[in-house]
Amino acid sequence: MHLDHDHSHDGPGAVSADALRADGSRRALRIGLGGPVGSGKTATVAALCRALRDELSLAVVTNDIYTREDAEFLLREAVLPPERITAVETGACPHTAIRDDISANLEAVEDLEDAVGPLDLVLVESGGDNLTATFSKGLVDAQIFVIDVAGGDDIPRKGGPGVTTADLLVVNKTDLAPYVGSDLARMAADAKAQRAELPVVFQSLRSEPGVADVAAWVRAQLAAWTARA
């Protein structure tokens, strides 16, 4: 949110959530993916890129905590051309970079749009963090919180801002549930109790339909974003 209503943005860099870029064109939809370490955020981003890259112009910003591992994983997997993937350094505080001080991420998004745009969609992946980490509305238009069954089936019950308020909750690695003793029905009921009407997707990227449900949700978000233009 900004206080700048008195004049048009006539140069680079003063925008955050504004729908228009400095040149007057409409910017890409930005979707954030957050969640605990190891829950499958990068794997979900990779799968989304494979599912959507032929129909959309997209790019990815990663927020690695202390390495470029996530960006390098995406590069190695060749889910997108390298110029469409940018890593942001977060100074030991991944949640600060996506919520309290979003400037480096906004810069990365804008640079991607300048370099390889026009873009339809930018996925902003948070560094693995805790259950309270959410994205600022100044940075993303919608956010996905990714947890996994192996992190404990009590996480939906515990709630927290990510589980409770994310626009989409993804419960990942459902294929592992029998091996770690996680009760998917209980997770679904707890998530429903925490989130009311907000959607939840249970997915396993190791079997069909993989990321299809999340990709469908992303397409719906994009359709709504485009319709608002």
Dihedral class, residue 61 (left if φ above 0, else alpha if ψ from -120 to 50, else beta): beta
Amino acid in the structure at residue 14: A
Q: How far apart are CA 148 and CA 100, in angstroms?
A: 26
Q: How far apart are CA 97 and CA 152, in angstroms?
A: 27
Q: What mask, x for binding another protein by CB under 8 A, covers residues 112 to 151?
A: ----------------------------------------
Which residue's CB is nearer to another protein, number 7 or number 228? 7
Contact (Cβ atoms closer than 8 angstroms) between residue 124 and residue 139:
yes
CB of 101 to another protein, least distance (A): 4
Which residue's CB is nearer to another protein, number 41 or number 99? 99
CB of 212 to another protein, least distance (A): 35
Q: Does 66 bind another protein (CB under 8 A)?
A: yes
Q: Does 25 bind another protein (CB under 8 A)?
A: no
CB of 109 to another protein, least distance (A): 12
Q: Does 65 bind another protein (CB under 8 A)?
A: yes
Which residue's CB is nearer to another protein, number 6 or number 197? 6
Q: Does 97 bind another protein (CB under 8 A)?
A: yes
Listed in sequence order, the residues at least 6 apart from 59 whose beta carbon sits closer than 8 Å to its beta carbon are 28, 80, 84, 85, 86, 112, 113, 116, 119, 121, 122, 123
Instruction: List binders of another protein among 147-206 (CB under 8 A).
Output: none
Contact (Cβ atoms closer than 8 angstroms) between residue 1 and residue 113:
no
Outline where the chain has alpha helix (H).
41-52, 69-76, 94-95, 103-116, 155-158, 161-165, 177-180, 184-195, 212-227
Q: Does 73 bind another protein (CB under 8 A)?
A: no
CB of 19 to another protein, least distance (A): 15
CB of 173 to another protein, least distance (A): 27
Which residue's CB is nearer to another protein, number 67 or number 226? 67
CB of 87 to another protein, least distance (A): 10
Q: Which residue has the tokens 């505080």?
A: 93
Q: How far apart are CA 205 and CA 66, in angstroms?
A: 26
Contact residues toward another protein (CB under 8 A) are 2-4, 6-7, 10-16, 65-68, 89-93, 96-97, 100-104, 106-107
